[in-house]
Amino acid sequence: MQNEQNRKSSKPASRPVRKKNQPEHSQTVIIPQLSPEVLERARRAAAEGKTAQQVEQEALDAAAAQTAQAAKAPQAELPRQTAQPKPSRPARKTRAEAEAELAQSIHDDHLWLNNPVMVRGLGLAPIVAMASDVDRALMLCVLSILLLTATRMLAVAVCHITGNRFRPVVYAYSAALIYIPVYILMYYIFGTDLSIMGIYLPMMVVEPVIVKRMEATELESIGEAFRRGINNTIGLCVAILLMGTLRELLAYGTVYEHPVLEVGLLPLAAQPAGGFLLLGLVAAVWTAVGGAYVHYKQEEVRHLYVDRKH
């Protein structure tokens, strides 16, 4: 009886005082999370002469704050967890997104799938008319390496200043300006051998592979111009060297003046007509292999995202 009275009398004292908008389940959350720090704060409050209700209220507030802090912690860690790759499953994206990503990666692959020469048909004049042996092909490569990226970056920088007006003239003059130190450097490297390039060396300043970007309406950033310029340069150099080697082998039976065959199998390969024919055949094989690879990748995406409608 005494115990029952004690329980009855103690009920109001032991029941925590809830705020009006305090959720009902807050007690079950708070009680197991009473830390030594919370108890210490309550002890200090009691020493300051606060009532039991005030002490409990402060303890509740402190515990609620601690719970909220604990709830925030996993959210903060979430981005780090999602940044880690999951090798077992494909990324959570739609099929359309995956196909768009594949198309973008194909577009950015200037070495193979979107080669400026073999696929997009740029830079044909110097390759067909000049890259008839490895020596000339090397000169064209050096010129492309020195000219292409620098021209693109300078032209983009000037276009940013001029408000993207007079694009073709800006691109062509940028290339012509950069050609001056490039020619001096190339003369230092190759000497009078440069004369065998004839009109095709200075003509590179208006070659579409150098100034192709002038046809596009949107203006890229300088960083993007650098990245794309490097990619285009690599793709162009690969095509030039491949054609130079092949044409020298077929026309003269040599590779970099080292005899490989007894006679040249196709002397016409040294002429522009042979260059056109040979480039057409190589481009056909190139695009066929590239197309087969693209088809395989598209089928792979289709297979991976077969259960997703969109």
Interface positions with other proteins (CB under 8 A): 118-119, 121-125, 128-130, 166-169, 171-173, 175-177, 179-181, 183-184, 187, 198-200, 202-203, 205-209, 211, 214-215, 268, 271-277, 279-281, 283-285, 287-288, 291
Residue among 67 and 287 whose Cβ is closer to other proteins: 287
Residue among 40 and 299 whose Cβ is closer to other proteins: 299
Minimum separation from the CB atom of position 224 to other proteins (A)? 22
Minimum separation from the CB atom of position 186 to other proteins (A)? 9
Minimum separation from the CB atom of position 234 to other proteins (A)? 19
Residue among 17 and 284 whose Cβ is closer to other proteins: 284
Phi/psi for 255 (5° steps) reads -130, 115
Residue among 254 and 287 whose Cβ is closer to other proteins: 287
Residue among 90 and 181 whose Cβ is closer to other proteins: 181
Residue among 229 and 290 whose Cβ is closer to other proteins: 290
Q: Are 253 and 115 in contact (CB under 8 A)?
A: no
32 is written with which tokens? 């197991």
Cα dihedral value 19, 23, 25, 27, nearest 10: -20
Residue among 244 and 275 whose Cβ is closer to other proteins: 275
Write the CA distances from 269 to 125, 129, 156, 207, 298, integer angstroms.
15, 10, 38, 22, 37
Minimum separation from the CB atom of position 195 to other proteins (A)? 9
Minimum separation from the CB atom of position 94 to other proteins (A)? 31
Minimum separation from the CB atom of position 217 to other proteins (A)? 12
Minimum separation from the CB atom of position 150 to other proteins (A)? 14
Q: Which residues contact 226 (CB under 8 A, 6 or more apart)?
A: 149, 152, 153
